[in-house]
Amino acid sequence: MEMNPDYRMSQAIREAYGRNEDDETMLPLVRVALSGTPIGRMKTGDGVIFYNIRGEREVELTRALADPNFREFPVRKDLNLDFATMVEYAPRLKVPCAFPPEGEIRDTLCEVISQAGRRQIKITEAEKAIHVGYFLNGKRTAPFPGEERIIVPTRKDVTLFDEAPRMSIDGIVEAAVEALKNPKYDFLVVNFPNVDVVGHIENEKAVMEAVSAVDEAMGKVLEVAKKERVTAVVTADHGTVEKWLYPDGKIDTGHTTSPVPFAIIHPSGLKLDLREGGSLIDVAPTILHLLGLDVPSAMRGRTLVVGDAYQTSKRVILLILDGWGESSSRVGNLISRASTPIMDRLRGEYPFTLLRAAEGAVGLPEGTVGNSEAGHLHIGAGRVIPADRVRIEQAIGDGSFFQNSVFRDVMQRARERKKALHLMGIVSFFSSHGSVLHLYALLEMAKLAGVREVYIHAMLGRRGEKPESGARYVREIEEKCGHLGVGQVVSVIGRYWSLDREENWDRIEKTYRMLVFGEGRPVF
Q: Each residue of 219-236: pLDDT tens digit? A: 999 999 999 999 999 999
**b/e per residue 373-400 (b: at least 16 CB within 10 A):** bbbbbbbbbbbbbebbbebbbebbeeee
Residues 6 or more apart in contact with residue 257 via CB below 8 angstroms: 239, 358, 359, 367, 368, 369, 370
Residue 7 CA, distance from chain mean position:
30
The span from the CA of 317 to the CA of 264, in Å, is 10
Question: In the predicted model, is pLDDT for residue 479 greater than 60?
Answer: yes
For the chain, what percent of residues have pLDDT higher than 90? 87
Q: Each residue of 346-365: pLDDT tens digit? A: 999 999 999 999 999 999 98
**Residue 462: which pLDDT band, with cuts at 50, 70 and 90?**
confident
Question: In the predicted model, is pLDDT for residue 239 greater than 90?
Answer: yes
Question: In the predicted model, is pLDDT for residue 289 greater than 80?
Answer: yes
pLDDT (0 to 100) of residue 1: 65
Sign of CA dihedral 481, 482, 484, 485: positive
The span from the CA of 252 to the CA of 400, in Å, is 35
CA dihedral 360, 365, 367, 369 (to 10 degrees): -80
Question: In the predicted model, is pLDDT for residue 160 greater than 60?
Answer: yes
Question: In the predicted model, is pLDDT for residue 22 greater than 60?
Answer: yes
Residue 30 CA, distance from chain mean position:
27
**Residue 458: which pLDDT band, with cuts at 50, 70 and 90?**
very high
Question: In the predicted model, is pLDDT for residue 310 greater than 70?
Answer: no
Residues 6 or more apart in contact with residue 4 via CB below 8 angstroms: 482
Task: List alpha helices for 323-449, DSSP H.
Answer: 334-337, 341-349, 372-381, 388-398, 405-416, 436-449
pLDDT (0 to 100) of residue 102: 82
Q: Each residue of 313-350: pLDDT tens digit? A: 999 999 999 999 999 999 999 999 999 999 999 999 99
Q: Each residue of 175-219: pLDDT tens digit? A: 999 999 999 999 999 999 999 999 999 999 999 999 999 999 999
- Per domain, the residue ranges of the chain are 8-100+389-523, 109-384
Mean pLDDT of 9-24: 97
Question: In the predicted model, is pLDDT for residue 309 greater than 70?
Answer: no
- CATH number of this structure's domain 8-100+389-523: 3.40.1450.10
Alpha-carbon separation of residue 17 from 437, 478, 523 (angstroms): 25, 19, 15
The span from the CA of 273 to the CA of 279, in Å, is 16
The span from the CA of 434 to the CA of 159, in Å, is 25
The span from the CA of 125 to the CA of 320, in Å, is 13
Residue among 8, 10, 55, 7 nearest 460 (CA): 10
Residue among 96, 42, 172, 137 nearest 514 (CA): 42
109-384 fold: Alkaline Phosphatase, subunit A (3.40.720)
0.85 cut: is pTM over it?
no
The span from the CA of 321 to the CA of 196, in Å, is 9
Mean pLDDT of 118-123: 98
Q: Each residue of 439-450: pLDDT tens digit? A: 999 999 999 999
Residue among 266, 279, 276 nearest 379 (CA): 279
